[in-house]
Structure formats: C-alpha cells, structure tokens
Amino acid sequence: MAKKPPAQATSKSKTTVRPEIERRAHRALRQHLLDLLRGGNAHLNFDEALAGLPPQLRGAKPPGLPYSPWRLLEHMRIAQWDILEFSRNPKHVSPEFPAGYWPDSDAPPDDKAWQKSIRRFRADLKAMHDLVEDPATDLLAPIAHGEGQTLLREALLLADHNSYHLGQMVTVRRLLGAWES
C-alpha cells in the first residue's frame, strides 16, 4: 500500500498566515521604537536627566569639558527638531553644521529660555513618538524627499542621539556635584 504524500498547506493558509506574522513583527518593532524614544529600560529618560538641576548650574562647565547643561539641552533640542522636521516636512532646511546645532552661550538667558527649551524638546519628542505610533506610518518606506532614509532610521537616529547626550548630561552633572546616583 502506497503512502499518501504529506498534506501541503493550502494557498489560502499561506496568504493569511504570512501577513499576520508581518503585522505582529511591525507592531513589535513599532513598540520597541516607542520604548526607545521614551527612555527607560537601559536608557535614561529626559526628565530624569534634568530633574533637580539647580538653576545656577545650568550654564556651568566642569573643568576640561566644553559644554554646560544648557549647551547640551539646546543641542539636543535643535538636533531632535531637525530630525523630526526632516522626517515630516519636504521643505525643511537643516541648520548649518555644526554651528547651527549649538547655542551661542554656555548659559540660558533666563529661566524662561530654559523652560521653553524643555517644553519644545518634549513637544518634538512627542511628535516623533506620534509619527512612529501611527499604524498608517510605514516605518520602512523611504522618505520621499530623502536619499533613502526611512522613518525607522530617523527614529533610531533621534533615540541614539538623545541617549548619547543624556549620558553626557549625567557626566556634567556629576562633575558639577549635582547628580545623586
């Protein structure tokens, strides 16, 4: 008696299973990106890095380091804004590099400028978060006005850049005696 060949998956099951796997993978990727942008897990979040910094130290530079908390905050804000605008606005023109990505002074002009920078940073981070979170956003599609960049790349770039400079913020604060571990 001859054995029957093993049953083959039907064409219908192949076409319904694969898209579901892809949907789950995209949802997981999107969630990982959101977690990375938000901070936490192995990354410091923005609010934790700035919490409790005395106003008189916002413009202070530790010996041997070229930046103050203000310089780092403004650099992060400007770079994040640039990445966000590039991601969503085909008419966006980036600042001149590197001068356009750093503030002119070590210290904010006043408390209002410091608070405004923090608000703008949070708003732009939320805007990138919202872009990534939107299921209609194709994270892998090349940005139409770019040169092969994708929103996935830009979100990773933004998270990486923020993480790097938040680490520097902690170092500056430690050297200034304004960080408790």
CATH of the domain at 71: 1.20.120.450
What is the reported pLDDT for 117?
98
Please say if the pLDDT value at position 153 is more than 90.
yes
Give the mean pLDDT of the chain. 92
Cα angle at 39 between 178 and 176, to 5 degrees? 10
At position 85, the amino acid (one-letter code) is E
Do 62 and 172 touch, CB atoms closer than 8 A? yes
Does 16 have pLDDT greater than 70? no
Quick: pLDDT tens for 18-76. Answer: 788 888 998 999 999 999 999 878 788 999 999 999 999 999 999 999 999 999 999 99
For residue 100, is pLDDT > 70? Answer: yes
Tell me, yes or no, whether 78 lies in a domain. yes
Q: Does the residue 1 lie in any domain?
A: no
77 within domain boundaries = yes
Domain that holds residue 140: 41-175
Domain membership of residue 18 (yes or no) is no
For 77-99, letters b (16+ CB in 10 Å) and e give bbbbbbbbbbbbeeeeeeeeeee
Average pLDDT of the segment spanning 147-156:
97
Instruction: Evaluate whether residue 6 is within a structural domain.
Output: no
Token look-up 């890095």 returns: 49
pTM of the model: 0.88
Q: Is residue 124 part of a domain?
A: yes
Choose between 160 and 181: higher pLDDT: 160
* Nearest-angstrom CA–CA distance, 34 and 130: 9
Beta bridge partners of 43: 40
Q: How many domains does the chain have?
A: 1
* % residues pLDDT > 90 (the chain): 82
pLDDT value of position 36: 93
